[in-house]
Amino acid sequence: MSHTACRISPVSSEADLDAFIRFPWTIYANDPLWVPPIIEHQKTFLDRTRGPFFEVGRAEYYLARRGDAVVGRISAHINSAYEALHDPRTGFFGFFECEDNQETANALFRAASAWLRAQGKTRLHGPLSFAIYDEVGLLVEGFDEMPSMMHTHNPRYYEDLILNFGFHKTFDWYAYKIDESQFDLSAMKQRRDSILAKAGCRITHPPRHEFVRRAAEVRELFNDIWGKNWGHVPFTERQFADIFVQLEPIMRRDLLNVILENDEIVAFSVVAPDVNRSLHGFDGRLGTQNMLNLFFDCRVLPLEYCRAIIMGVKKTHQWRRLHHAIILQIIINFLENHPQMDYCDCSLIPESLVQWNKTLLAYGGKRYKTFRLYDRDI
Q: What share of the chain is helix, strand, coil (3-state, %, to 5)?
A: 40, 30, 30
The Cα 38–Cα 97 span in angstroms is 17
pLDDT at residue 210, rounded to an integer: 83
Of 217, 219, 265, nearest to 240 by C-alpha is: 219
List b or e across 262-278, with b for residues whose CB sees 16 or more CB atoms inside 10 angstroms: eeebbbbbbbbbbbbbb
The Cα 108–Cα 124 span in angstroms is 12
Q: Using the Cα atoms of residue 152, residue 153, residue 156 and residue 162 in order, give the sign of their dihedral.
A: negative
* SS3 letters across 185-249: HHHHHHHHHHHHHHHCCEEECCCHHHHHHCHHHHHHHHHHHCCCCCCCCCCCHHHHHHHHHHHHH
Specify the DSSP class assigned to residue 34. Answer: -
**Helices in 73-184 by DSSP H: which ranges?**
80-85, 102-118, 158-164
Task: Note the Cα 317 to chain centre separation in Å.
Answer: 26
Helices then strands, each counted (H, E), the chain: 14, 15
Looking at the structure, give the CATH architecture of the domain made up of residues 7-173. Answer: 3-Layer(aba) Sandwich (3.40)
Q: What is the pLDDT along the chain (378 residues), one digit of tens a residue?
A: 456 789 999 999 999 999 999 999 999 999 999 999 999 999 999 999 999 899 999 999 999 999 999 999 999 999 999 999 899 999 999 999 999 999 999 999 999 999 999 999 999 999 999 988 889 999 999 999 999 999 999 999 999 999 999 999 999 999 999 987 678 899 999 999 999 999 999 999 988 778 778 888 888 888 888 777 778 888 888 777 777 777 778 889 999 999 999 989 999 998 999 999 999 999 999 999 999 999 999 999 999 999 998 888 898 898 899 999 999 999 999 999 998 999 999 988 999 888 889 988 988 899 999 999 999 999
Of 94, 113, 93, nearest to 42 by C-alpha is: 94
Cβ within 8 Å of residue 45, ≥6 positions away: 51, 52, 53
Please tell me if the domain spanning 7-173 has the same topology as the one spanning 180-341: yes
pLDDT at residue 212, rounded to an integer: 77
Q: pTM for the complete prediction? A: 0.93
What CATH topology corresponds to 180-341? Aminopeptidase (3.40.630)
Domain boundaries, the chain: 7-173, 180-341
Pairing state of beta strands 123-126 and 366-377?
Answer: antiparallel
Query: Under DSSP, is residue 276 helix (H, G, I), strand (E, B) or coil?
Result: helix
The Cα 280–Cα 148 span in angstroms is 11
pLDDT at residue 3, rounded to an integer: 62
Helix (H) or strand (E) holding 26: helix 24-27
Amino acid at 92: F
pLDDT at residue 161, rounded to an integer: 98
Instruction: With beta carbons less than 8 A apart as the criterion, state whether 220 and 283 touch.
Output: no
